Chains A and B, each alone.
Chain A
């Protein structure tokens, strides 16, 4: 009865649908051939980006529950209880592919997207972080120059959007590695606050309830974006430019205020952001979650251009739009609110009991398909996995296989990498203080903190991942990303509660990449279980591959923790001359995936030792409890570059010198990266009380030196404080702005 559309093979190829998937489509449509609108819908809904078809199998094992978890994965963002009737809503999301093609708009719309995920839940966004990975920016090659251009564009884009929205960007991380030369990673995190009983979900229900479109008009921008980000890059990708969307933060700000005004009323059943795959994914998700049906009149959708067709409306990724399921009779009240904020608003359809998606164009049906098989029951894959061949080679090496390097020379080299030095060039372009809550601002080391005006507490958050660790050991590396983000949060005196993740990997069709992904998920699962910090939201970004080269496995983790007292946020740099610096934990000579091997020998090699979660938890406990008792002046974790680099950073930021003597087996161990260690600053009168607490928790304590003086000296390496500060504060700008 029905005929396949013309040039079916080519159309399927352009929509990245396989023959197998087409057979599924025919089955779902009861043997009828799909039209082009329907093919577009299947293509978007079954893209990696929307369906998580390669990753779902592994994500399903994540721990997602704890007494404080109000909403786990599956909604626009996760929600945790932060006391006194308040909740924190947060999520991290990637915008990698668009940012490589057009860094300013790619990064800007990434921020716009994550902000909508937060305020869709009813929360006002109060803090942003971002985790950025770039390729090699030092050097004169075209790649280096392009990477510097990307850094400037991405930072400008993030700033322009977040600043205009009035949401402070309070921290994050930026690192560099050749593995990102062909695929940069731009991961944006946002956190919002909401009253626990005023949370909104992305659902459509109640037969006859109106479906409303609000926000910007729909244009042809971003057509096929979800399909693009589910594909690898090739030399032809530059011609993909037209599919990058342009952000309008001003309109989003209006949308934010209008939505928050709407949420104070009783008119909304559910609301969903139109992100990737626009109207298609928002409509299918809202109905899919409740088992409802929807009928929508696409000719009612506000259009920015003339001549747009149903296909364009369903697949456009125009920004700053939302889909609302309203209560019947509330239409005019909602229209009034959005018109007050000078936004477009239209009733475009209603909820039905058919469990089907029916789309009409000037009264003519252009799509009719069941919802569940396309959304909630979308096919998932069990892709082949294989342990990567490179692992044997990199795991076989140890630091002893490399030439000996003079410690002073090593120190000077390890102080200067861009991942180590201060990034004021980046964070000074972000408004970090708007909303007047930022108590631990960017540049102050470890976690970032905001106070909560509503309950007098504070939230700490930190985004972390060491891709070198993940490269040499995808499972332990991912687990350590969770651990480090938790440790950073604990160093501010806050108790780590939950994570969101952004899992950036290469091409899942490559079994070795799929193995890395599977292992990474195992690592996150293990760490989150052991540390009791469940996953409440997240995002997967695959196909970060260019010309066959995949990025290092990069599961970025953002941990959120709660400090019961806004006045007890612990700094991470020296506070007072003369106070004692104590090293907590043991230095075991670990150099697997270290900065030491990377910077001195240009390689990423070695192994990661087995990890003791109990020791880690006791370390957190010690710092959190000692801080509550007022025994600590500052605390910082020890990570890349080891004790010597951690002390140097603390010295530079505080403008105070330090002379430290650390007992180590090998002199180079001042650069070792053993886990579960921290440096704490304690005033003389509190040393005894603190020592007793540490002993009770079984944590090894070494008094390594006192704050003060005009140099940084750690065992046999030293530099004048002024020189440390010059390297620390000026290297980044000198590198990134060298072309200007």
Chain B
């Protein structure tokens, strides 16, 4: 199975990279962009076919290492 983890700064925590990209888009003439958030995507190839088990494991990976929950939120997709 493949797990796709997306890690983003939490709502309310200033995202300087997103802000810079937002500003650059505006100066390039792309109007109507309300907000830009930049995060990272982590793709894990898992050696299991048990979706529930995989989800639990990946969640633990996020909580321990992949995200810093003081400032970051994450989402998990299992395919």
Contacts and interface: CB of A to CB of B under 8 A. Distances in A.
A and B touch in the complex (CB under 8 A): yes
Interface in A696-740: 739-740
Interface residues of B, number: 4
Contacts of B23: 740
Interface residues of A, number: 2
A692 B58 CA distance: 79
Dominant secondary structure of chain A at its interface with chain B: loop
A740 B20 CA distance: 7
Contacts of A740: 20, 23-24, 27
A442 B27 CA distance: 33
A98 B41 CA distance: 28
Nearest to A739: B27
A151 to B, nearest CB: 16
B27 to A, nearest CB: 7
A360 B26 CA distance: 57
Interface string B22-45: 011001000000000000000000
A146 to B, nearest CB: 14
A586 B23 CA distance: 52
Nearest to B20: A740
Contacts of B24: 739-740
A739 B21 CA distance: 11
Nearest to A738: B27
Contacts of A739: 24, 27
Contacts of B20: 740
A218 to B, nearest CB: 23
A458 to B, nearest CB: 39
A739 B24 CA distance: 7
Nearest to B24: A740
A740 B27 CA distance: 8
Interface string B1-31: 0000000000000000000100110010000
Nearest to B28: A739
A375 to B, nearest CB: 44
Contacts of B27: 739-740
A244 B34 CA distance: 36
A740 B24 CA distance: 6
A79 to B, nearest CB: 43
A740 B17 CA distance: 12
B43 to A, nearest CB: 18
A740 B25 CA distance: 9
A155 to B, nearest CB: 16
A739 B20 CA distance: 11
A740 B23 CA distance: 7
A142 to B, nearest CB: 13
A739 B27 CA distance: 7
B26 to A, nearest CB: 11
Interface in A524-575: none
A385 B74 CA distance: 64
Nearest to B27: A739
A443 to B, nearest CB: 25
Interface in B50-74: none
B12 to A, nearest CB: 24
A148 to B, nearest CB: 12
A295 to B, nearest CB: 38
A571 to B, nearest CB: 36
A739 B29 CA distance: 12
B64 to A, nearest CB: 21
A740 B28 CA distance: 10
B65 to A, nearest CB: 17
A371 B21 CA distance: 53
A477 B46 CA distance: 62
A306 to B, nearest CB: 15
A136 B38 CA distance: 31
A260 B73 CA distance: 41
A740 B19 CA distance: 11
A34 to B, nearest CB: 41
Interface in A158-215: none
B55 to A, nearest CB: 30
A638 to B, nearest CB: 40
Nearest to B23: A740
A156 to B, nearest CB: 13
A367 B59 CA distance: 52
A739 B25 CA distance: 10
A740 B21 CA distance: 9
A104 to B, nearest CB: 15
A270 B24 CA distance: 50
B29 to A, nearest CB: 12
A141 B24 CA distance: 17
B23 to A, nearest CB: 7
B36 to A, nearest CB: 14
A487 to B, nearest CB: 41
B25 to A, nearest CB: 11
6 contacts: A739-B24, A739-B27, A740-B20, A740-B23, A740-B24, A740-B27
Interface of A: 739-740
Interface of B: 20, 23-24, 27
**6 tightest Cβ-Cβ pairs between the two chains A and B:** A740-B24, A740-B20, A739-B27, A740-B23, A739-B24, A740-B27
